[in-house]
């Protein structure tokens, strides 16, 4: 399956004379964002928005695109002074081309991603995204949000209407390109597995071992609602996520 993926990078930083030529040379855009911390007047409140990348989620194809994304982000960081990820800033990932929309729209999918994210959230920045007002988790702790509210952890209605994408807003900003690589592989593996859910009511369980990499994923899907033959996707192992 082939998708288009776009990223929005929020990060505290000071721009240099090299920043704009690099960003515009890639075809990206720069947006002002008041949620980005400014320690003094030298710091920028810019958010960097990429052009879409084409990503084939077959593993040997996926890694080529992810390597390109990481190289481009590393290049951006090289043009910034004192780039630092702080609480409140996010990494927003837009994905278009998702086929199994019924499952991705479901409450079950939302809760599934929430539970999987809790398994990898180790740092203070990652844990802070479980209670982030600009990326609120619906259905958790009675936090029922309007579906049309863009400030949800997974922005569906607004993002799909405006960009024809699903926007994943819950990941933290990062000043580490290798952490960006991990987030991308982790999220695209979830997308890959959830595309195979035949009905929105299928429960898809993804087991993830403790870090560090390599991480082994074993996915199983059980159709309890339709009482059909149990669907199992077993022993699907991806090295290094």
What is the mean pLDDT of the segment spanning 70-78?
97
Any idea where the domains of the chain sit in the sequence?
A: 2-100+117-197
Predicted confidence at residue 139, as pLDDT, reads: 58
- Residue 103: CB atoms within 10 Å: 21
237 falls in which pLDDT band (50, 70, 90)? very low
Instruction: Render pLDDT for 94-125 as a digit per residue (tens, 0 to 9).
Output: 998 888 877 887 788 888 898 999 999 999 99
Predicted confidence at residue 155, as pLDDT, reads: 77
Q: Has residue 143 got a pLDDT over 60? A: no
Q: Distance between CA 200 and CA 187 in Å, rounded?
A: 19
What is the mean pLDDT of the segment spanning 69-96?
93
57 falls in which pLDDT band (50, 70, 90)? confident
Query: Both tokens of residue 18?
Result: 């090299």
Instruction: Render pLDDT for 193-233 as a digit per residue (tens, 0 to 9).
Output: 888 755 444 443 433 333 323 323 233 333 232 222 222 22
Q: Distance between CA 1 and CA 227 in Å, rounded?
A: 28
Exposure b/e, 180-218, CB count within 10 A at least 16 = b: bbbbbbbbbbbbbbbbebebbebebebeeeeeeeebebe
Cβ atoms of 139 and 110 within 8 Å: the answer is yes
> Could you give the count of Cα atoms lying within 13 Å of 22 in the half-sphere of its Cβ?
16
Predicted confidence at residue 241, as pLDDT, reads: 38
Predicted confidence at residue 150, as pLDDT, reads: 64
Q: Has residue 236 got a pLDDT over 80? A: no
Predicted confidence at residue 197, as pLDDT, reads: 59
Q: What percent of the chain has pLDDT over 70?
A: 71
Highest-confidence segment of 33-47, 90-104, 186-200: 90-104
Q: Distance between CA 32 and CA 15 in Å, rounded?
A: 13
Cβ atoms of 32 and 1 within 8 Å: the answer is no
Query: Both tokens of residue 205?
Result: 């369980």
DSSP track, the chain:
-EEEEEEEEE-EEE--TTHHHHHHHTT-EEEE-TTS--SSTTSB-EEEEPPPEEEE-SHHHHHHHHHHHHHHHHHHHHTSEEEE--TT-EEEEEEE--S-HHHHTSHHHHHHHHHHHHHH--SHHHHHGGG-TTSB-TTBTTB---TT-SSBSEE-HHHHHHHSSEEEEEEEP-S-HHHHHHHHHHHHHHHHHHTT-SSTT-EEEEEEPPSSS---EEEEEE-TTTT-PPPB------TT-
Predicted confidence at residue 130, as pLDDT, reads: 86
Predicted confidence at residue 68, as pLDDT, reads: 96
Predicted confidence at residue 22, as pLDDT, reads: 97
Predicted confidence at residue 140, as pLDDT, reads: 53
Predicted confidence at residue 198, as pLDDT, reads: 52
Residue 154 or residue 142, greater confidence: 154
Q: Supply the pTM of this predicted model.
A: 0.76
């Amino acid at each position: 399956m082939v998708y288009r993926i776009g990223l929005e990078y929020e990060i505290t930083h000071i721009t240099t004379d090299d920043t704009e030529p690099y960003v515009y040379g890639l075809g990206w855009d720069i947006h002002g964002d008041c949620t980005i911390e400014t320690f003094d007047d030298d710091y920028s409140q810019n958010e960097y928005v990429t052009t879409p990348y084409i990503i084939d989620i077959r593993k040997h194809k996926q890694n080529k695109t992810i390597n390109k994304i990481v190289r481009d982000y590393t290049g951006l960081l090289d043009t910034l002074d004192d780039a630092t990820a702080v609480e409140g800033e996010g990494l927003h990932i837009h994905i278009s081309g998702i086929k199994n929309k019924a499952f991705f729209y479901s409450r079950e999918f939302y809760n599934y991603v929430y539970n999987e994210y809790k398994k990898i959230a180790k740092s203070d920045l990652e844990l802070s995204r479980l209670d982030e007002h600009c990326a609120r988790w619906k259905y958790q702790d009675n936090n029922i949000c309007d579906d049309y509210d863009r400030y949800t952890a997974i922005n569906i209605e607004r993002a799909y209407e405006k960009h024809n994408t699903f926007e994943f807003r819950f990941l933290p900003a990062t000043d580490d390109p290798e952490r960006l690589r991990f987030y991308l592989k982790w999220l695209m593996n979830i997308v890959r597995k959830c595309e195979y859910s035949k009905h929105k009511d299928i429960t898809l369980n993804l087991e993830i071992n403790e870090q560090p990499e390599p991480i082994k994923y074993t996915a199983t899907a059980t159709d309890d609602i339709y009482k059909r033959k149990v669907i199992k996707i077993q022993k699907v192992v991806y090295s290094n996520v």
